[in-house]
Every structure is written in C-alpha cells, then in structure tokens.
C-alpha cells in the first residue's frame, strides 16, 4: 500500500496541497496508474512526474484528493535494426483519485476515466 505520510501530517494546514503534490511526485510509474492512463504513447516513463491538486474532500476517516498527473511516455517499437519508429518522448496527462486514510496515511490511487 502506498503511504502519504507528509500529507497526513500537513492535513488542516495551508501547506497540505504542497505536501500531497510532493508525495505524489515521489511515486513511481509502478505506484501510479500511469500506464493505464496513456493516450499517446505505449510506455509510461518515471522521469519528471508532476502533479496538480484539483480538489480535496474530507470524510470522518479519509481525505479524498483529485489530482492531475503530467508525465511522459514513449512509443516503443519492435527494437529491430530497421524499425522506423522514433523514440521520442510524448506528453501525457491523466486524472486520479487518491483516498488517504487519516489514521495510517495509507492511500489507494484510482485512475479516473473521462
């Protein structure tokens, strides 16, 4: 399970959104549903993941955060010597919902579909 320890400590403070953003940007492609959110490329990259907090809601036990994730992907070819596919990075964007348990800091991250 993914931990959002900085966000839980900052809950209720003005720097909460910055803490969530920092927690998100420290995660890898394996912890975020970036591969499932691809629109242009075929392989999501770990490089330069950036987050934008769109909405925050609170319940008795959890904090629900909607965030936009900006990242890059590549269009992977067949790796053949004569493969004409360029290996250029492509900009990607997806939105996720993060449910953070207030007591433990454990979070579940779900890709939001358009």
Given a cut of 80, is residue 43 above it in pLDDT?
yes
* Model pLDDT, residue 47: 87
Task: Look at residue 81 in the predicted model and tell me its pLDDT.
Answer: 64
Contacts 24+ apart (CB under 8 A), 75-78: 75/40, 75/41, 75/42, 75/43, 76/41, 76/42, 76/43
User: According to DSSP H, which parts of 3-105 are helical?
Assistant: 5-10, 16-25
**Class of the domain covering 2-74+85-112:** alpha beta
Does the pLDDT value for residue 31 go beyond 70? yes
Domain map (residue ranges) of the chain: 2-74+85-112
Residue 75 — φ and ψ, nearest 5°? -100, 105
d(CA 13, CA 4) in angstroms, rounded, equals 15
**Range of weakest confidence among 8-17, 83-92, 95-104:** 83-92
What tens digit of pLDDT does each residue of 64-94 get?
Answer: 999 999 999 998 766 666 666 667 889 999 9
- What's the pLDDT score for residue 78? 61
């Amino acid at each position: 399970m993914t931990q959002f320890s900085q966000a839980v400590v900052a809950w209720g403070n003005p720097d909460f959104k910055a803490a969530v953003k920092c927690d998100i940007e420290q995660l890898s492609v394996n912890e975020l549903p970036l591969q499932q959110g691809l629109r242009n490329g075929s392989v999501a990259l770990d490089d330069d993941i950036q987050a934008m907090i769109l909405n925050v809601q609170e319940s008795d036990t959890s904090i629900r955060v909607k965030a936009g994730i900006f990242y890059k992907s590549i269009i992977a070819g067949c790796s053949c010597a004569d493969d004409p596919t360029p290996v250029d990075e492509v900009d990607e964007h997806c939105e996720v919902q993060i449910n953070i348990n207030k007591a433990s800091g454990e979070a579940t991250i779900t890709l939001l579909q358009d």
